[in-house]
Structure 1
Amino acid sequence: MDAEQDLTSISNPERIRALAHPVRLALLDHLESVEDATATQCAEAVGESVASCSFHLHSLAKYGFIEPAPRRGRERPWRSAMRGGMDVRPSQEVGSHRAVAELASMQVLRQAERVRNYLATYTNEPEEWAQAATITSSTFWATAEELAELSKHLQTVAHEWYAGREADPTKRPEGSRRAHLFAVANPEPLTHEGDER
């Protein structure tokens, strides 16, 4: 991966909790899809009021997820500071595991809604695109090290395809469309005795 495409690791519970809000996640998604945007443009994109977006944009900036973009006259646009993406992992700090779980739960709901929206229009997809998409699941036995390796592999593959195409339209192959990857690799929950069912 290029250095500029490296994932930003986030484990501080305060920063993670700052992300765990549906409007903030929607704003981050939007700012990652455009060069920059004002609070007014963000409000139009995410369906919230300008005042609400302005408040959440300042909160995201406070924790380093976005930054001011060069001014356009009197306009004050914002841009993503996380162009390479984020890798949110718990640390040993108090509350970190709970904060990661809360954010991840919110992301699962957001991604489920996105997939449902896609499936609602699935019958309109050209055959080549319908065949290219997949919703798949697997069950397997793995050590913690192997599961970590799989998680890293999924992130690496996604970023190899990213290759600056989001920020630079000239790098996008002809006929390409924005695509999404949502993958979860997790072990079965432990029982009270510490053994898996």
Structure 2
Amino acid sequence: MSEPTVQVTDVRALRALAHPLRNRLLGLLRLDGPSTATLLGARVGESSGSTSYHLRQLAAYGFVEEVAGEGTGRWWQARHRQSSWTSAAMRDQEDGAQVDEEMMRLAVGFQGRVLEAWQDGRAGLDPAWSSGSTVNDYALRLRPEQAQELLAELDAVLQRWMAAHPSDEPADGTETVAVLLDLLPLRQWPT
């Protein structure tokens, strides 16, 4: 991967990313490294023609790129380890509110699936991971500028760890670790 993070500022790029299949393909490339449309298609239950088209769409917006690979076929890799956007930047653009909503729903659904996959597989993890994994929630009373400060601090910590531990350089004893970061104003806690 050429860069750790991309800040998506164009609503057209976010729309490309908000497509469920494209989002899945990008996630697989980020976690598992370079692949072909055929191999990815087999993983997600789609034809190689469909996955090839969606990979080209992701490439058009700079999310993936072609790389040299083994054997025949076009190999693709993710260009970034993480994509982020701000709702404010999207809402200022035509169709931005709708695209922001689509992407947010996709992201929230994905986080739910990540947590379920972890829950389903945690019994098979090395016992050492029991003290290295957590699901926590914290309730704070903050003003918007305080929430922004907290978010910036958390992001800085994660960026530092991402730089020190590239996901495309696996080492013995390591696992891919998901960090799901949600900082949300809630007027009423769900019951």
TM > 0.5 between the two?
yes
Other-structure match for 1:16:
14
Aligned-partner SS, 2:128: helix
Aligned-partner SS, 1:87: strand
- In 2, the alpha carbon distance for the partners of 1:4 and 1:61 equals 14
Other-structure match for 1:178:
176
For residues 33-75 of structure 1, give each alpha carbon's deviation from its aligned partner in whole angstroms, at most 9, with x where no partner exists: 2442110121123332212211211111122211111365642
Q: Is residue 2:66 matched to residue 1:68? A: yes
RMSD: 2.2
- In 2, the alpha carbon distance for the partners of 1:28 and 1:8 equals 13
Other-structure match for 2:159:
159
Other-structure match for 2:23:
25
How many positions carry a matched residue from both structures?
183
Query: Which structure carries more strand by proportion?
Result: 2
In structure 2, the CA distance between the partners of 1:120 and 1:168, relative to structure 1 (3 Å rule), is closer
Aligned-partner SS, 1:68: strand
- Normalized against structure 1, the TM-score is what? 0.82
In structure 2, the CA distance between the partners of 1:81 and 1:123, relative to structure 1 (3 Å rule), is closer
In structure 2, the CA distance between the partners of 1:103 and 1:73, relative to structure 1 (3 Å rule), is same
Percentage identity across aligned positions? 26
Other-structure match for 1:137:
137
Q: Is residue 2:47 matched to residue 1:53? A: no
Aligned-partner SS, 2:93: coil
In structure 2, list runs of 5 or more residues that go unmatched.
none
Aligned-partner SS, 2:156: helix
The Cα of 1:137 is off from its aligned counterpart by 0.9
- In 1, the alpha carbon distance for the partners of 2:123 and 2:50 equals 36
One-letter identity of the residue aligned with 1:89: T
- In 2, the alpha carbon distance for the partners of 1:71 and 1:115 equals 32
Residues 76-87 of structure 1: matches in 2 within 5 Å? 76-83=74-81, 85-87=82-84
- In 1, the alpha carbon distance for the partners of 2:125 and 2:35 equals 30
Other-structure match for 2:110:
110
One-letter identity of the residue aligned with 1:135: V
In structure 2, the CA distance between the partners of 1:57 and 1:4, relative to structure 1 (3 Å rule), is closer
One-letter identity of the residue aligned with 1:11: T
- In 2, the alpha carbon distance for the partners of 1:73 and 1:119 equals 37
Q: Is contact 1:36–1:77 with CA below 8 Å preserved after alignment?
A: yes
In structure 2, the CA distance between the partners of 1:4 and 1:117, relative to structure 1 (3 Å rule), is closer
One-letter identity of the residue aligned with 2:85: V
The Cα of 1:118 is off from its aligned counterpart by 1.5
In structure 1, list runs of 5 or more residues that go unmatched.
191-197
The Cα of 1:131 is off from its aligned counterpart by 2.5
- In 2, the alpha carbon distance for the partners of 1:160 and 1:45 equals 31
Aligned-partner SS, 1:15: helix
